[in-house]
Amino acid sequence: MLDDTPDPLADLRKIPWFNVLDQTGWADLLAATQLRSYSPGEVVFLEGDPPENLYLVHRGWVKAVKLSSEGREQILDFMGPGQPINIAPVFAEQPHPATLIAQEACDLWAIRQSILLALLDRYPAMARLVIRALAGRLLHTISLIEDLSLRSVTARLAKLFLMQLPDDQQTVIPRHRWATQAEMAARLGTVPDVVNRALSSLGDEGLIQVDRRQIAILDRAGLVTKAQF
């Protein structure tokens, strides 16, 4: 019988910082890596929890959210296969600034923070790459703040669609089962009714076509203009 247990090497090698490790570093990293499974809606960690592990998505999708005292949700990001999650709190040695929730059944690699910090001390090239990754997260946060304060919901929605297209050739965005208008509204910092109107507006202008399985981009240039890039 073939062993179908996931091999962490395939996922860990997708992270640039780890590819500077030598054989000893890899051995230490693999010994500190464990696969954990989560059900849809299950909390991986809460805002304020200490970052005992760095998480890397092997299968499925998760979302990072801020929750208000009234239960309103602001989605900060979605992470899927091959993506590391909580880089900043792990390397800053600070509590998690957001809550992480499984969007669907998923498997995450958990890598002990203590080992990662030890590897930083031993491998300066890894430290430089981690700094680059953290700087990228800071720029993403600045962009999110700019969008919430300076762009309309329609412009933010147009930008979101453009960011989901990996290249100029792709014109279709697949929709996950959990990608409802409520989820979209939480991500954009608004409410479902406003998102519905924004979707209708983009559709009426001939920029997109929406159905249950996908969003087709009909006019990319027009969408760029609408996103106020």
List the structure tokens of 111: 């890598």
> pLDDT tens across 147-189, in order?
888 889 999 999 989 988 877 778 899 888 888 888 888 788 8
The answer on pLDDT for 31 being more than 70 is: yes
pLDDT score for 183? 82
Task: Give the model confidence (pLDDT) of 33-53 as tens digits.
Answer: 999 999 999 999 999 999 999
Q: So what's the pLDDT on residue 34?
A: 96
| Per-residue pLDDT tens digits for 69-81 | 887 778 888 889 9
The side-by-side arrangement of strands in the sheet containing 208-210 is 172-174, 214-217, 208-210
Q: Is the pLDDT of residue 3 over 60?
A: no
Please check whether residue 41 is in contact with residue 84, taking contact to mean a CB–CB distance below 8 angstroms. no
Q: How far apart are CA 228 and CA 148, in angstroms?
A: 13
Q: Which residue has the higher pLDDT, 6 or 90?
A: 90
Q: What is the structure's pLDDT at 2?
A: 43
- Is 8 a residue whose pLDDT tops 80? yes
- Max avg pLDDT among 3-17, 52-66, 131-145: 52-66
> Regarding the domain delimited by 8-142, which CATH topology (the fold level of the hierarchy) does it fall under?
Jelly Rolls (2.60.120)
Q: What residues contact 83, with CB distance under 8 A and at least 6 apart?
A: 56, 57
pLDDT at 197: 94
Closest by CA position to 181, among listed 207, 152, 160: 160
Give residue limits of the domains in the chain: 8-142, 151-226
Average pLDDT in the chain? 90
d(CA 129, CA 123): 10
Report phi then psi at 81, rounded to 5.
-50, 135
DSSP codes of every residue in 176-208? -TT--HHHHHHHHTS-HHHHHHHHHHHHHTTSE
> Hey, which CATH number is domain 151-226, 3.30.9.10, 3.20.20.60, 3.40.50.700, 1.10.10.10?
1.10.10.10
Bridge partners, residue 77, by sequence: 64
Q: CA–CA separation, 42 vs 101, rounded Å? A: 6
DSSP annotation of 178 reads T
